[in-house]
Amino acid sequence: MALPTTSAITLNINGEKHSLPVDHRTTLLDALRERLDLTGTKKGCDQGQCGACTVLMDGRRAVSCLQLAVAAEGREITTIEGVADGDTLHPVQQAFIDLDGYQCGYCTPGQICSALGVIEEHAAGWPSAVTADVRPEAGPPPLTAEEISERMSGNLCRCGAYASIVRAVARAAGVETDGAHTATEDKETAA
């Protein structure tokens, strides 16, 4: 007797439940894009290396190309389509626009979902590889450009918009980084 290779699952995505049958080998990324038409999450390397497919699962960052859809059942999944509040952009999205934290835009959905995770992880006091004092009683480290860069290092940008991405994450987190300015900020200052 052959074991079944498909299951009927219900995914909770952006606050809505979606029931669908899936092959057990279907990744969450493919279920989102091909089965549910949530195409904001991008397929980059399909190997968990580029971060273009980053979503939030139960508030934590996850590369959806390495997550099986059947294993995501019962989890709260947030994609880029669920970040804004109606027509009002999330502060991270607005910061990316204001500070040119994107160029071609392909990696931007994953960058924004990752930035949301970074801000939450930092607020919870999680250290990174560059955190100097990792003792719990030290509290969250300063959210410097170096901290942001390290925490966002799982997301690649082929256009090289990293400096603007770091500034956008810092602005959304309510911190300033190293006094660096963008061309947009310089134009606003000159006006």
Contact 169, 156 (CB under 8 A): no
Q: Which residue stretches of the chain are H helix?
A: 28-30, 91-98, 108-123, 145-151, 162-173, 183-190
pLDDT in tens, 54-99: 999 999 999 999 999 999 999 999 999 999 999 999 999 999 999 9
Q: Which CATH class is domain 6-82?
A: alpha beta
Structure confidence by residue, pLDDT tens digits, 136-173: 888 888 999 999 999 999 999 999 999 999 999 999 99
Domain segments of the chain as ranges: 6-82, 91-190
Structure token pair of residue 84: 């804004």
**Of the options 1.10.150.120, 3.40.50.10300, 1.20.1250.20, 3.30.70.260, the CATH number for the domain spanning 91-190:** 1.10.150.120
